[in-house]
Amino acid sequence: MSFGCRCKQPGAYCATLTRNDEGNPFSLIPVLVTGLQCAQVLGRGRRFEPKEVIRGADAPWLEPYDKQGNKEIRSERTQQMGARMTISQSCILLRDDTTGEVMLFADPAEIIIARTRAEFFAGLARMEAAKTEGKWLAGYLSYEAGYLFEEKLAGFVEENRQTPLLCFGIFDAPQKDGCLLAQPKQRLENEEFLTAPKAAWAFPAYKERFDRLHRHLRQGDCYQANLTMPIEARWNGDPRAAFWSLIERQPVKYGALVDLGGPVILSRSPELFFRTDEEGWIETHPMKGTAKRGADAAEDAAIVAAMRHDIKTQAENRMIVDLLRNDISRITEVGTLDVPKLFEIETYPTLHQMVSHVQAKLLPDLSIRDIFAALFPCGSITGAPKLSAMHILHELEDTPRDAYCGAIGMISPAGAMRFSVAIRTISLFEDGKAIFNVGGGIVFDSTAQAEYEECLLKARFAIGDQEIAR
């Protein structure tokens, strides 16, 4: 049963209120409505999953808020499981650890959340309208949203997802410097934020999938595919403090903390998906090719030199560069496509990565939907050819990737955009469960043992030196 909003604002969508699980009419929750922040509360509320909220047909992105207009992100079940979240308002924090530059978005005027195909395309349209109105947008797309841009894959989108397809806040502007949410926060607990990590696939299970993928490679169904597996853990503490502690473990250029509904997302991505500027140029930095750090500077230098000249590593990177050149060419002017950097090596605390740069001049008057339809998901986390690789990976991977391998970033009203590839990304759920995926690009001469070990190496960004059960 639903009740109308008390605010009586003319021309606004009416806020919808719903009963709690026990049917208590005095435990009602408000929702944030299109074009209006309504926080009229008739009684104490608890957080509801979106499926419990009665939505208007014209406003599929409504989400529940508590009596202060903030999301009610702590529940009795959360407390029983030991996990807790102390972020008090919806926000997105984007940080370049190499420069210390922070971009914070807080107090959204509206949150757009899409869980179905119809909601997804309506959400993109609402984002475009907000940009035209002079608003900023910040949020993420889940990997499975990419299925909706290809009719042959669209049927996969409804399968067992735990996060929205699309989740974006609409903001007046980024927060000014000095905002408390953008300041470092210390962890008070002595224990690890993530504990009891367990890989979904022991090596035999990984090898069985690897062998099936290798058959596709031999048959020419694809040339490369990025096979990934989830690792589950338990989390405890304050996600914002965990975000800052993860910076100490592995600084990256595209760190993100996202709390807009659904799971809280902590991303430690080193990879730029794409960025555009106000003059209409687009740039992407495909990352493919990984090697473990050496014991000292001399060994590091030798590893980097070997990576630059390794035929397998170059082939992996070049295939994705060619894929992204093809994707970008669909939305850019003829004759402007360039690869200013090829086979560069970036070094992080636990590993080296090979990176290339692709850039071009965008066609005029492109929409947000046009850009994502051409590029999403990033080819570095699918494979080549992209459509075939995505179909094969859907058969091999048991569970949706959700936010992992999606895109996290922001859009300015002037047209500047910046999105990372959501690798090294942890999703935190209210029951104390944490999930992050790890994976790598598989080519013809890859071996199952080496690729599995690379997956476990990549997991260190989240769990340090903890042993991973399998």
Q: What residues are annotated to the active site?
A: 271, 288
Q: Is the pLDDT confidence value at 362 over 60?
A: yes
User: Is 159 within the bounds of a domain?
Assistant: yes
CATH code, domain carrying 456:
3.60.120.10
Q: Note if the pTM is more than 0.95.
A: no
Backbone angles phi, psi at 407, to 5 degrees: -140, 135
pLDDT classification of 177: cutoffs 50, 70, 90: low
- Residue 153's Cβ-count burial label (10 Å; 0-12, 13-18, 19+) is middle
Backbone angles phi, psi at 81, to 5 degrees: -85, -10
User: Is 216 within the bounds of a domain?
Assistant: yes
- Cβ atoms < 10 Å from Cβ of 465: 5
Q: Which two tokens stand for residue 189?
A: 């607990």
User: Is 134 within the bounds of a domain?
Assistant: yes
Distance of alpha carbon 355 from alpha carbon 407, whole angstroms: 18
User: Is 378 within the bounds of a domain?
Assistant: yes
User: Is 192 within the bounds of a domain?
Assistant: yes
pLDDT tens digit string along 317-329? 999 999 999 999 9
User: Is 90 within the bounds of a domain?
Assistant: no
Q: In the prediction, which pLDDT does 45 show?
A: 27
pLDDT classification of 180: cutoffs 50, 70, 90: low
Greatest mean pLDDT range, 4-13, 45-54, 241-250, 325-334: 325-334
Structure-model confidence comparison of residues 287 and 66, the more confident one: 287
Q: In the prediction, which pLDDT does 186 show?
A: 63
Distance of alpha carbon 316 from alpha carbon 288, whole angstroms: 6
Number of domains in the chain: 1
- Cβ atoms < 10 Å from Cβ of 22: 6
Distance of alpha carbon 16 from alpha carbon 18, whole angstroms: 7
Q: Is the pLDDT confidence value at 187 over 50?
A: yes
Within 13 Å, how many C-alpha atoms sit on residue 345's CB side? 20
From first CA to last CA, the distance across the chain in angstroms is: 46
Rounded to the nearest angstrom, the gap between the alpha carbon of residue 389 and the centroid of all alpha carbons in its chain is: 20
- Residue 277's Cβ-count burial label (10 Å; 0-12, 13-18, 19+) is middle
Q: How much is the average pLDDT of 332-347? A: 96
Q: In the prediction, which pLDDT does 20 show?
A: 35
Per DSSP, the three-state class of 427 is: strand
Question: Mean pLDDT lowest for which of 53-62, 118-127, 150-159, 446-455?
Answer: 53-62
Tell me what the pLDDT averaged over the chain comes to: 83
Distance of alpha carbon 216 from alpha carbon 131, whole angstroms: 43
**Partners of residue 334 on adjacent β-strands:** none
Q: In the prediction, which pLDDT does 131 show?
A: 98
pLDDT tens digit string along 383-441? 999 999 999 999 999 899 999 999 999 999 999 999 999 999 999 999 999 999 999 99
Q: Which parts of 189-253 are beta strand (E)?
A: 194-199, 224-235
pLDDT tens digit string along 73-120? 333 333 333 444 444 578 999 999 999 999 999 999 999 999 999 999
Q: Is the pLDDT confidence value at 451 over 90?
A: yes
CB 360 within 8 A of CB 332: yes
Q: In the prediction, which pLDDT does 178 show?
A: 61
Q: In the prediction, which pLDDT does 250 show?
A: 85
Signed CA dihedral, 90, 88, 16, 22: sign only:
positive
User: Is 349 within the bounds of a domain?
Assistant: yes
Residue 409: which domain range? 119-463
Return the residue matching tokens 């950097």. Answer: 341
Q: What is the dihedral of CA 439, 442, 447, 450, to 10 degrees?
A: -30
Q: Is the pLDDT confidence value at 196 over 50?
A: yes
pLDDT tens digit string along 38-83? 322 222 222 323 333 323 334 434 443 333 344 433 333 333 334 4
Q: Which parts of 236-299 are beta strand (E)?
A: 254-259, 264-269, 272-276, 281-284, 287-292
User: Is 84 within the bounds of a domain?
Assistant: no
Distance of alpha carbon 96 from alpha carbon 270, whole angstroms: 9
